């Protein structure tokens, strides 16, 4: 097991370094740069732009820039964000926890709700309940993210103003609140974006989980369980679910990076100060250091997601556990 983990981690490091390298060159070779007229104020003279490029080393040969970048990253310095005029690390320190908060709630709720819905459907397969849940989840499944976010706002922030319309805290009162009420304030602001994401994700999870449960139910060992006198509810929840989790675990591994990379449209609609917005901004402004940091974080999370999925497979399927 330890050997396996070390091997996987070594693989992950190689992948992240490769991705970072390729991304570095692609980003720098793409047309434009942080000080191009399309990005910066077009009235700034070409001489000033040249000065900035010189100051940030952007006029040096690309391989040299790359070596300098790697050197500074290994020292723990992720560089300076041109667009926000702050250290990249500071930007991340602000945005990452916000995204982590929103996404961990949304993902946990989505998988719990999605699996629960699928079990309910499969227990009553073919019934009206099954068909209604399938219909509704198909609806959410095919709804664009921003549209759903807007609908949630219209309904629960505007028509029935139960929750705040956006942001993460109340800009006026938050700083004057006591510690408990600060938490309540954040929680109230989290509800709508988390709800939007949960409606979207749980629909996907429910569809996957239902299909894979229905795949497993005709298995012979399910007939064996029925022949033992196991009640149908236990058949589905215990005997079938454990075998039907694998596709959903794969889905979880794929969703894992979103924990830190966030969800662009939902963050935008709800003005949630998270990574999704930071990443979009860094692309718009050709903010090389910030964009590179996002790429590195993203690729670390992608490899971590696949490792987490693998460990979960092993936890749920003893046949994989006994392979070296």
Partner 1 sequence: MTEPLLSVENLRTWFHTGDAVAKAVDGVSFSIGSGETLGIVGESGCGKSVTALSILRLVQQPGRIESGSRIMFEGKDLVTLDDAAMRDIRGNRISMIFQEPMSALNPVFTVGDQVAEVARIHGHGSRRDAWNRAVEMLSLTGIPAPEERAKEYPHQLSGGMRQRVLIAMALIMNPALVIADEPTTALDVTIQAQILELLVDLQKRFGTSILMITHDLGVIAETASRVVVMYCGEVVEEAEVDTLFAAAHHPYTEGLMHAMPQLSEPRARLNVIPGSVPAPTDWPSGCRFRDRCPYSWERCEREHPPLYEISPTHTSRCHLAVEPEHRANPHPPLVEQLGVSV
Binding site for partner 1 (CB under 8 A): 218-221, 223-231, 239, 242-243, 316-319, 322
Residue 53 or 237 with smaller CB distance to partner 1: 237
Q: Minimum Å distance from CB 321 to partner 1? A: 9
Other C-beta atoms closer than 10 Å to the C-beta of 268 total: 17
Residue 31 or 229 with smaller CB distance to partner 1: 229
Residue 46 or 323 with smaller CB distance to partner 1: 323
Q: Minimum Å distance from CB 227 to partner 1? A: 4
Residue 249 or 260 with smaller CB distance to partner 1: 249
Other C-beta atoms closer than 10 Å to the C-beta of 170 total: 17
Q: Minimum Å distance from CB 240 to partner 1? A: 9
Q: For residues 39 and 284, give the distance between their C-alpha atoms in angstroms, rounded to a whole number.
A: 8
Q: For residues 30 and 138, give the distance between their C-alpha atoms in angstroms, rounded to a whole number.
A: 38
Token pair belonging to 21: 């390298």
Q: Minimum Å distance from CB 241 to partner 1? A: 10
Q: Minimum Å distance from CB 206 to partner 1? A: 22
Token pair belonging to 162: 């139960």
| DSSP code, position 176 | G
CA atoms within 13 A on the CB side of 74: 7
Residue 75 or 319 with smaller CB distance to partner 1: 319
């Amino acid at each position: 097991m330890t050997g396996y983990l070390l091997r996987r981690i070594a693989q992950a490091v190689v992948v992240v370094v490769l991705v970072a390298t390729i991304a570095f060159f692609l980003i720098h070779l793409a047309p434009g740069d942080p000080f191009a007229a399309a990005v910066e104020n077009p009235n700034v003279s070409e001489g000033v732009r040249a000065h900035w490029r010189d100051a940030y080393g952007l006029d040096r040969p690309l391989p040299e820039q790359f070596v300098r970048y790697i050197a500074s990253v290994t020292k723990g310095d992720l560089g300076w964000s041109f667009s926000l005029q702050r250290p990249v690390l500071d930007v991340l320190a602000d945005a990452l926890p916000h995204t982590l908060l929103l996404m961990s709630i949304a993902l946990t709720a989505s998988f719990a709700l999605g699996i629960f819905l699928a079990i309910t459907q499969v227990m009553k397969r073919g019934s009206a309940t099954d068909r209604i849940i399938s219909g509704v989840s198909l609806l959410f499944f095919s709804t664009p993210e921003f549209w759903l976010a807007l609908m949630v706002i219209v309904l629960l922030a505007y028509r029935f103003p139960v929750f705040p319309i956006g942001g993460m805290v109340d800009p006026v009162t938050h700083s004057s609140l006591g510690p408990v009420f600060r938490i309540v304030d954040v929680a109230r602001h989290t509800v709508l974006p988390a709800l939007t994401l949960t409606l979207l994700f749980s629909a996907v999870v429910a569809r996957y989980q239902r299909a894979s449960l229905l795949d497993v139910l005709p298995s012979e060992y399910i007939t064996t369980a029925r022949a033992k006198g196991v009640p149908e509810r236990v058949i589905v929840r215990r005997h079938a679910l454990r075998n039907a989790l694998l596709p959903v675990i794969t889905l979880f591994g794929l969703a894992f990076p979103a924990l830190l990379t966030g969800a662009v449209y939902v963050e935008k609609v709800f003005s949630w100060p998270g990574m999704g917005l930071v990443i979009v901004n860094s692309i718009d402004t050709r903010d090389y250091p910030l964009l590179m940091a996002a790429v590195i974080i993203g690729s670390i999370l992608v490899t971590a997601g696949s490792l987490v999925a693998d460990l979960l497979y092993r936890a749920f399927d003893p046949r994989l556990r006994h392979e070296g």
